[in-house]
Amino acid sequence: MRHAHEVGKVREAEQALMAALPEGELMRRAARGLAAVCAPIPPRAYGSRVVLLVGSGDNGGDTLFAGAWLARRGAGVEAILAGSKTHEQGLRALRAAGGRVTADEAVIDAADLVIDGLVGIGGHGGLREPYARLAERTAASAAVVVACDVPSGVDASTGEVEGVAITADVTVTFGTYKPGLFVDPGARYAGVVELIDIGLGPRLPEPDVVAPHSEDIRPPRPSPESDKYRRGVLGLIAGSEQFTGAAVLAAGGAVRGGAGMVRFASVRPAVDLVRQRWPETVTTVLEAGDVADVGSLVGRVQAWVVGPGIGTDERAEALVAAALGSDLPVLVDADGLTVLARRRDLLRRTAPTVLTPHAGELARLIGADREAIEARRLEHVREAAAELSAIVLLKGSTTLVAQTGRPVHVNPTGTPWLATAGTGDVLSGLTGAFLASGMPPLDAATAGAYLHGLAARFAVAPHDRPGEGQAPISAYDVITALPRAFRTLSGDTTWAGPG
């Protein structure tokens, strides 16, 4: 896992470390790491044109020292001092190395490399002048942009961006990752994130946000003693006469997700289609009077998924109530979330509940504004998990999974190509398969999001060859690519995976 800490915790760790080090050593460590990442970026270090955007804080000092290191190796380094004050030792080091100070902002236009040291991790709110003007000019240049610790204008703790911000190609962050580098909108400004170890590790508490590596994703594997019941039986309630496709896609996600058995229940048109496409499912046709007794009709299961395509009428409400009335883990998605927006009392249960909303569905659930949720995703997913007493998987540009009392999990595999009808239904079935297997709900939701995003990436660019173009995908393409996504976990190409 990549661990990220909010600014307050980083500051405390820095203070504790600085008390044990010679004066200035922490800044020297950061500057050396920044310079080491920057050095290979221009076509050649000697003679390259480097512009430093220098603010008033310690980031400005880091940038000046890094600029001095590059100047000693033959780069032409010019610093724009944009802050109300300047780190004097860093400025002396730059000048001693042959760098110079300029007030001519046009040097940005011809730069090979721009290092952003305007605002550090303590910055909040939009960039003020002249910082905003420098950010806009940098965005218009052809230079490679490296941000020091966090792109200026991005809130390091939350990822919020108000107005203009530096758009970096690379962000060099120190000591620990910052949540704003993982969570949109801030993550879109960060580019490739490089972590420099400056010795904070032993002084850092539990992280606020984590982002998994492939080795952290461990869906269950069958053992020699496994049978279909031990692997997990998922109860799936999806589809309606109007929305039959959601049922087929959710069932496909569950089958390809490795469920030992999928027990599917719905109206006859949806059952007929699921039976044709996924004959391994065990199906039950629900007549008008069967809704309240769906559990006994379907048979024994280890977890439920309810919601995709079921509609939002009284019948749908009864189906959601039946699933949530059980003592099993339940995942609620799509139409089921719309039902819960008016029947939040159904969430009063002791068994685990996983909710998988997009921003609009979460807005209805918690009575918030959709745009506010998109702007402050981390804040709202935490609040929703606490308010709804559930694990909340907030779908979107960066999918977040929150459980009260645990670090928020950020999925790193997402792609905008997933913004197409039906992919959420696939995610529901896939995550439901993991719930039925006995995975802890937070881990099941994290694994579901990770593999779902990975499968979409494989579906978009299936050939893995330079020059191969990307093509639009459908939800069914994601299902088809799931076995390949499983096989790539931890580089294990010998495991065929489900499907």
Pairwise CA distance, residues 40 & 86, whole Å: 27
Q: Annotation-wise, does 397 bind a ligand?
A: yes
Q: Annotation-wise, does 398 bind a ligand?
A: yes
Q: Annotation-wise, does 85 bind a ligand?
A: no
Phi, psi for residue 460 in degrees, rounded to 5: -70, -45
Pairwise CA distance, residues 153 & 233, whole Å: 48
Q: Annotation-wise, does 122 bind a ligand?
A: yes
Q: Annotation-wise, does 226 bind a ligand?
A: no
Pairwise CA distance, residues 436 & 135, whole Å: 49
Pairwise CA distance, residues 40 & 11, whole Å: 30
First and final CA of the chain: distance in angstroms?
27
Residue 436 in contact with residue 233, Cβ under 8 Å?
yes
Q: Annotation-wise, does 149 bind a ligand?
A: yes
Strands (E), 220-318: 233-237, 261-266, 282-285, 303-306
The single-letter DSSP state of residue 470 is P
H-state helical runs in 131-202: 131-140, 186-190
Pairwise CA distance, residues 242 & 269, whole Å: 9
Q: Annotation-wise, does 289 bind a ligand?
A: no
Q: Annotation-wise, does 399 bind a ligand?
A: yes
Q: Annotation-wise, does 499 bind a ligand?
A: no
Q: Annotation-wise, does 338 bind a ligand?
A: no
Q: Annotation-wise, does 124 bind a ligand?
A: yes
Q: Annotation-wise, does 109 bind a ligand?
A: no
- State the amino acid at position 471 in one-letter form: A
Q: Annotation-wise, does 123 bind a ligand?
A: yes
- State the amino acid at position 189 in one-letter form: Y
Q: Annotation-wise, does 309 bind a ligand?
A: yes
Task: Specify the residue for token string 């609009």.
Answer: 360
Q: Annotation-wise, does 87 bind a ligand?
A: no
Q: 94 is written with which tokens?
A: 């730059």
Q: Annotation-wise, does 395 bind a ligand?
A: yes
Q: Annotation-wise, does 425 bind a ligand?
A: yes
Q: 454 is written with which tokens?
A: 């990975």
Q: Annotation-wise, does 61 bind a ligand?
A: yes
Q: Annotation-wise, does 175 bind a ligand?
A: no
3-state secondary structure string, 312-368? CCHHHHHHHHHHHCCCCCEEECCHHHHHHHHCHHHHCCCCCEEECCCHHHHHHHHCC
Q: Annotation-wise, does 62 bind a ligand?
A: yes
Q: Annotation-wise, does 296 bind a ligand?
A: no
Q: Annotation-wise, does 429 bind a ligand?
A: no
- State the amino acid at position 431 in one-letter form: T
- State the amino acid at position 312 in one-letter form: T
Instruction: Write out the H or E segment, with its range, that includes residue 491.
Output: none
Annotated binding site for K(+): 59, 116, 152
Annotated binding site for AMP: 395-399, 424
Annotated binding site: 58-62, 116, 120-126, 131, 149, 152, 246, 309, 358, 395-399, 424-425
Annotated binding site for (6S)-NADPHX: 58-62, 120-126, 131, 149, 246, 309, 358, 425
